[in-house]
Structure formats: structure tokens, C-alpha cells
A and B are shown apart, each in its own frame.
Chain A
């Protein structure tokens, strides 16, 4: 059974029909990339899954449970963690306090241990534990946002445009990290405009076009697909 099953969801912004029946599946342990141009509905899909928006029609099943109308904050405890677009670190808190906030829903004693784990995964953050997050560079803030999401011990990690606004050198680093997180057994749903990078680390991918799934295939096949190459990879 798929860990996440999105079943024909329709989401609206007021009267605007943003998602016109999007369906896909994410199996446990996979990295899935949702690619598409601006306004194709990638972020809306993610917001619908994470509960920030409710679908008017269709269902979202997580681990067999219907979470279509569940509130966003309750999903964190269920194991779905989201790294929002534009990172959204708490600029006035230190790195460590930000990570603490990530573990907000947890009450177990493993938090200290996981903090250490986060610093191992992101040594830069370890060096800057006491630094205020607002003074970190863009790349470091993205690292912090991901590390913070991991502090909730998610089974499914939703990443919204992790490469946005980062220098190309840093983008490589971010995708490396995503790959390593996946290797530790966290399932990842990645929304990305940078289709090239996303398809390199993904297992499978879905191409969204005006609120619908236009193409779905394995990442390797998508990279060879002529339409994808022309439209999203910039290859003629």
C-alpha cells in the first residue's frame, strides 16, 4: 500500500479552480518529484496535502487514513512534516531554538539525541548553534528549515521549492542532503521548478500542467521524455 495516495483532488482559491483532479501515489521510501512551471499547481498540491487548504473534492489518504480535511497542525504528529516555501525560519531565534521548535509536537526523551543527529547531518548548523537564524545565509537557512522539519521525526517530508533563491553551488548541496535524508528511510515529496536537479535524485516524477497531472513516469524516463526535455529541462 502506498504511504500517501492522492486521489482526484480538486482545490479552489475562491472561484478559481486550481487543482482539477490531481492523483498520484508516493510509496514508502521513495523520492517523488512534482515538477511543472509557475502556476501549474505544485504548491497548491502540497498545501492541500499538508492541510493548509482543504480539497473541495477527492481524497488524500495517508497510511490508509483519510486526511483530506485534517488540520495542518495535527498532521505533524502523524508524521508529515513540511518545509514551507521561502524557508520560514524563526529569524529572531537561535539555530538551536529553531530546531527545538521543530520538535514541538514531541514529548519523548530522544530530542537531545536528534539534535546531535541534526548537527551531524548539517555541520554548519552545529557551528552556529547559538547564532540567530536571521543572520544565516540563504543556504544555511534552507538547511535549518529542513533540519527543523526533521526534528519532528517525520515519515513523510514535504519539500516546497528547496532550491529557490539559492546560488547554484548551494543547490547541489541541498539536493545532496535530500538524497541522504531519503537514504535514512524518510519518504520525500519534492516540489521543484528546477526539474533538472529534482529528476536526478527522484525515483519517480509527475509533471503538473494547469492543475492536472500531464505526464507520470520514472525519473529516468522523464529525463529522456521529449516534451519534458523541451519544456522543463531546456534541451532542444
Chain B
């Protein structure tokens, strides 16, 4: 069976070109050049180059896995990996040629040929199915003219401007430098290097398929850990800074970049660890499952205690900069838990959650500010205002819920979206300017004071967020298991049936909106105290979208999922500054991928994953019945 089957060569071709298109796209939007700024391992590889390697590697792995499943020999598998690597590089190579001065004529030629080739292809298809001759000639002409107008004008633009940057601003010298692996001058050497490296990465991906599972797991683990530590070098350094002395740190990092020797060490150590886990992990889990229930509970308890300890110690472990990120993540966890009451528990899609956040922030700002707008001379402290912010947000939630009670699904979402916008406009309006400062916002918000100490550092604010999150978590778990939770569940499933059970749906929905709003208010108040100022442009629809996205990515109705979602969607962009330019691009990509591959989220709640499985089973059953 040492022949490629037709469907296998097709999958090599399509997947290879797909990953090639991905590489070219990331380059054309500027991601590769931006990520090149960050070195993963000193003088060895940058994040941008890593991206160039990961695509053929992953695609090679996927393709080879398919080939192996259909019983292809090892040599063919490796060569298919090489082919995938070359295909991945192909679009970028073509773009490089187009971009160079010597081969610009190729672009011109291509652009001028495209309309004729496309029209002829279409006409041929028509001819094959035996269409009318006049129709074939007519459509050929029409396509030539239509596509010709576009492609000839592009050709003209390129000819006048003399380069591609007028249309593709990110196909820049930086980009060329990255994709040619630092051979920007010698084009052919650069292209050869790119093809070679890409083919190598593809072959490495294929090779992974041939390696037996245990060493493969170990290798992937080692590689993954090393690259992650390298990519987040700055973060890791900040953490180590708190716990390791300066000289050792200097040996590991050159500025924020992992040095070569420590990287190698890390790779070896993590590979060995991965190997041990692959060998004995199964046994360990088995052993744990075989323990008596009481012992097992004890082990679980110890684990929980360690986890709680880490949570408590976190600011000391990670230092100031990262504590600041942790507080931001915590604020979003708080909002995520709150919004989850409406969306996850009661099934009410609320797109105006920013309303509650804004109310909380402004209430705290106006009541405690010692600036010109705070006319209360600091009579109220942070602690006194937190309950006020909570109540105010609940009132806002209640007031906004009343008019939309009768709406369902999409209509509800649109209406709440509108309310979110109204709040933004009110905050910036001249009408409320005397009270909340209009576009200037409210300044000079004092930090919370706890028994005489002013909590001015993120390390200290962290504890406020932690306590608030834990309280919210507790309340939301209790709610979910209560009669009220059941009520919401019934409404989420079927409002009419819920009514038939004797549930007052209007009251239950009001309650959901109101309770969900409460934590938004607290989050807003903490945010205001953390930043010290409140501006209207902090309260846009993007807050609502962020919170919604983190719930969806983490897993609807799943509390641990919300924490993970907040870390991934809020924390990562803060840690990888290069990401933040592409934040919404990545959000979009992540959401689409999640919806296709893992609609239940990273850490699904039991109920939701069951629902999705049931849906898939029902679909499969329907397909089988047909």
C-alpha cells in the first residue's frame, strides 16, 4: 500500500495551501512582523518565525495522521510532510517574488492573465456540460471585462507606485526580513531558506506521527513548555524576579528573552518530566481512583488547600506588574460570574452589561472623589460606597429589565445592546456634565483605606477582587442549586412550559437581571478605585462583548470556565503587548474556532455539554434514519 490515495493527495494539497494562506494572511495584516519583535529564544527564533514554523508543523502532523490511518508507509508520510511544508511556504514565496524589483513583472503578468484564465476556465466548464455556444462566448467576455477592470487597475496602481505597499501596507521590509529568515538582500537565498525551513517543519510534524506515543507526548510537552516560557519570557522573568536573585536571573534572561542554554535545559527537563508523566501518569490516576474514598477526599483536600494557598499568596509570587494584570482579570471574572447569572442560568442574552459596570464606577467616583466634582469632601469611604454601588447597579438592572421582560432571544439581545449604548451616551452628555463631568470624567478618586493602610498597590487591591469574586462564586453556586435556579433553568428551556409549572416568569427574569447586575456594579466600583479616574470612553459596548466572549470561550454556565476565559481573553493580551493590536482579530478567530470545534467552551458545565452531545446524537440519528 505504498501509493497515495486520491483523497490523501487532495488533503495534502488543500491543507497545505490553507496553512500557506494562513501564513500569508498573518503576514499581510502585520502579525508576523509585529510578533518578530519578541524573541522566543535569544538569537534563535522569534515569535513571528515561530508562527511560520508552527503552521507547517501542525499541518504536517494532521495530514500525516490521516495518511497513517489509511496505512501509508513511513517514507511517503515524511515526504508528504515535506510537501505540506513547501505548499505552506508557496503563497509567501509568490508574494516575495511579487514584492521584489526584479520579479515585479510576474505580478503584472499574473494580474493581466487572471481575467483570461478565469473566463476560459468558466467557459470550459460550460462547454463540458454542453451549454449554448452564444452563452459560452458571452459569459467569457463578461468575465474578462468584469475581473479585468479590477485586476488591470491593480496592475496600474502597482506600476505607478512601484511597490505593493500602497495596497498591502504590511508587506514591508520587516516582513521580508522575517519570512526570509534574515536574508532580505539576497532574495533567492531567502526564498530557499524559507522553503527549506518550512519543509523541515512539515517533515518534523510528520515525524511526530511516526514516533511512538509516549516519547511523542514527552517531546511535544517539552517543546510546548519551552516555547511558552520563551514566548512569555517577560512574564516569566517578572515572576522569577520576585523569587530569584539578580545574577541568576541575568544568566537565564537577556532582558526579556530566554537565553539559549537555559532554553535547552528547560527543554530537556520538561521533556523528561513529560516522559515520566506519559509513562506513569496513567498509573498515578489509576492509583488515585483505586484509593479509598476517604483517602481520595484527603488528597483532593490537600490539592484544594495548595490551590487556595497559591491564590492567597499570588501577589507576592508574581510581583507588582502582574498583580495589576491579575486585578484586571479579577474584575472581568467578577463581571463574567455576574453576567453568567443572566446568560448561563436564566438564558437571557444580555448585551448591555456595561451599563452596570458604568453605574458602579460612576457611583463610586461621584461619592468618594476629592476632586472638583466630589462635593461630599470624602465623607464616604470606599467601603461605605461598595454596597451603594451594588444597590445602584441592581436598581439599574431592574429598571432596564422591566421594559424588556416580554422580549425573547434575539429581540432581548438587541434591546439590551441599545441600553448599553444609552448609558455610554449619557455618561458623555452635556446634560449630566455638572454631575459626572461629561467627557472629562471624574478625577481624584481616593484609594480604599483598610484599617489605616491605604490600599494603593495592585498587590493590595488584588485581595478586594479576590474576596468579591469568591463571594459572587459562592452566591452563584448556591443560587444555581436552589429553587430559584430551577426556576431559571425552566425558563431557559421553555418559557411556556415554565409558566405551566406555575412559575412567575416575569418575576424570575427580573430577579435574574437584578442579581446579575449587582456584581457588575461592584466590578465597576473596584475598577474606578483602581484607576483613580473615570472616563466615559471606558464604558463602551466592547466591555459587554469582552464579558460575553469570555463566558462563551470558557464555557457557558461553568464557573471555572469563566475564570479560564478571563485569563485567556483579558490576561493574555495584557501580557503579550504584541497581541493587543490584533486583539479583536484574535477574538473573532478564537470564537469561530471555538464554535466549530468546542462549542461547550474550554471547561464546559455538565448540563451544557450534555445538551450539545444530545444535539449531535439527534443529528446523527436523523442522518441514520434518512
Contacts and interface: CB of A to CB of B under 8 A. Distances in A.
Interface of A: 50-52, 71-77, 81-84, 88, 90-93, 100-102, 104-105, 132, 134-135, 148-149, 152
Chain B contact residues: helix, strand, loop or mixed: helix
Contact of B494 (A52, A88, A148): A88
A88 B500 CA distance: 10
Interface string B470-514: 000000000000010011011001101101111111000000000
Contact of B493 (A51, A76, A92): A92
Contact of A71 (B483, B493, B504, B610): B504
Contact of B501 (A51, A71, A104, A132): A104
Contacts of A50: 500
20 contacts: A52-B496, A72-B499, A73-B503, A74-B502, A75-B502, A76-B501, A76-B502, A77-B502, A84-B497, A88-B497, A90-B497, A91-B611, A91-B614, A92-B493, A93-B489, A104-B483, A104-B487, A134-B614, A135-B614, A148-B501
A101 B504 contact: no
Contacts of B496: 52, 84, 88
Given A91-B493, A92-B611, A132-B610, A84 B500 contact: yes
Contacts of B502: 73-77, 104-105, 152
Interface pairs A-B: 4 shortest CB-CB: A76-B502, A105-B502, A88-B497, A72-B499
B214 interface: no
B156 interface: no
Interface in B7-65: none
Contact of B500 (A76, A93, A132): A76
A84 B611 CA distance: 22
A73 B504 contact: yes
A83 B486 CA distance: 19
* Chain B interface size range: 20 to 34
Contacts of B487: 104
B310 interface: no
B311 interface: no
B607 interface: yes
A98 to B, nearest CB: 10
B500 A82 contact: yes
The interface centre, meaning the residue of B489, B500, B611 with most chain A CB atoms within 10 A of its CB, is B500
Contacts of A101: 486, 490, 501
A152 B611 CA distance: 27
Nearest to A75: B502
A209 to B, nearest CB: 26
Given A92-B607, A92-B610, A92-B611, A72 B490 contact: no
Contacts of B610: 92, 132
Contacts of B501: 73, 76, 101-102, 104-105, 148, 152
Contacts of B490: 90, 101, 104
A73 B494 CA distance: 14
Contacts of B493: 90-92
A156 to B, nearest CB: 13
B607 A104 contact: no
A152 B503 CA distance: 12
Contacts of A149: 500
A61 to B, nearest CB: 20
A77 B501 CA distance: 9
The interface centre, meaning the residue of B496, B499, B501, B610 with most chain A CB atoms within 10 A of its CB, is B501
The interface centre, meaning the residue of A50, A73, A149 with most chain B CB atoms within 10 A of its CB, is A73
Contacts of A73: 499, 501-505
A76 to B, nearest CB: 3
A132 B494 CA distance: 16
Contacts of A52: 496, 499
Given A74-B504, A90-B494, A148-B501, 8 more contacts: A81-B500, A82-B500, A88-B494, A92-B610, A101-B490, A105-B501, A105-B502, A149-B500
Interface string B324-342: 0000000000000000000
Contacts of A74: 502, 504
A25 to B, nearest CB: 23
A90 B502 CA distance: 15
Nearest to B617: A135
A74 B503 CA distance: 8
Contacts of B486: 100-101, 104
Nearest to A97: B486
A84 B483 CA distance: 22
Contacts of B500: 50, 72, 76, 81-84, 88, 149
Interface string B594-626: 000000000000010011001000000000000
B614 to A, nearest CB: 5
Contacts of A105: 501-502
B485 to A, nearest CB: 12
Nearest to B483: A104
A124 B598 CA distance: 35
Contacts of B483: 104
Nearest to B502: A76
